[in-house]
């Protein structure tokens, strides 16, 4: 399990989770992306192009009526909902419908156990270092930091990196968002390599070919740093 984490809201964590998941799918990996930001859930909406639209219809079985969204994360973890092994599109797990009734730590531990090791599992974490942000970091094996090149965001990303290390979720690297270049000092500040730089893009960055290419490069480095020999990936 890889926790996609960052200190500030709006740093690009959800976009990066979707971008990396799609890039892994382009390499033939049966990737799973799960929403861990239960207070501000938008992973499923972004992954299915529904951001800014009306609320998602639901059915009683815990599934959501959007193409490409397999189930709710708590349904998979506690009810044994089988995950499709699609190698062309990411399997997306939406946030719980009633998050305050769900034990986050148990849910992510169970999701990790339910996902075969050869399947990349990404979790889109809440911003900051509050207890709800700690649950996916405790469950994950490693983390990926996401930050733009703004001083407050970098400062908070460094705090997130420190929390991740304390929780035995060492950062593999950092994805720098909305940047034309990346200064060498980022490596020293965050204590991990730069996995890639995502260029500034229009309001819908995931539809931009340059952004997709940048996430392909991130995944090449991610596989090199962590996934080689672990994940079923071309």
pLDDT value at residue 216? 97
- pLDDT of 85: 76
Other C-beta atoms lying within 10 Å of the C-beta of residue 98: 10
Is CATH 3.30.70.3040 the right assignment for the domain spanning 2-227?
A: no
In this predicted structure, what is the pLDDT of residue 129? 66
The predicted structure's pLDDT at residue 64: 40
* pLDDT number for residue 86: 74
Instruction: Look up the pTM and report it.
Output: 0.90
**Mean pLDDT per segment of 10 residues, for the chain of length 234 residues?**
90 96 94 94 87 42 51 83 78 92 92 91 87 89 96 94 95 96 95 96 90 97 91 86
């Amino acid at each position: 399990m890889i926790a996609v984490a960052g200190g500030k809201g709006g740093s690009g964590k959800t976009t990066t989770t979707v971008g990396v998941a799609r890039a892994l799918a382009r390499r033939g990996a049966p990737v799973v992306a799960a929403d861990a930001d239960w207070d501000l859930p938008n992973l499923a909406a972004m992954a299915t192009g529904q951001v800014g639209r009306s609320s998602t219809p639901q059915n009683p079985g815990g599934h959501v009526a959007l193409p490409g969204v397999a189930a709710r994360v708590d349904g998979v973890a506690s009810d044994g909902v089988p995950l499709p092994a699609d190698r062309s599109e990411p399997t997306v797990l939406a946030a719980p419908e009633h998050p305050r009734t769900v034990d986050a730590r148990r849910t992510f531990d169970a999701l990790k156990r339910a996902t075969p090791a050869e399947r990349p599992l990404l979790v889109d974490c809440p911003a900051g270092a509050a207890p709800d942000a700690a649950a996916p970091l405790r469950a994950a094996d490693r983390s990926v930091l996401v930050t733009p090149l703004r001083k407050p965001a970098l400062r908070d990303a460094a705090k997130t990196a420190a929390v991740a290390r304390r929780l035995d979720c060492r950062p593999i690297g950092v994805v720098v968002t909305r940047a034309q270049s990346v200064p060498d000092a980022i490596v020293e500040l965050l204590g991990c390599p730069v996995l890639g730089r995502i260029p500034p893009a229009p309001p819908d960055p995931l539809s931009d070919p340059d952004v997709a290419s940048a996430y392909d490069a991130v995944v090449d480095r991610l596989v090199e740093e962590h996934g080689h020999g672990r994940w079923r990936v071309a």
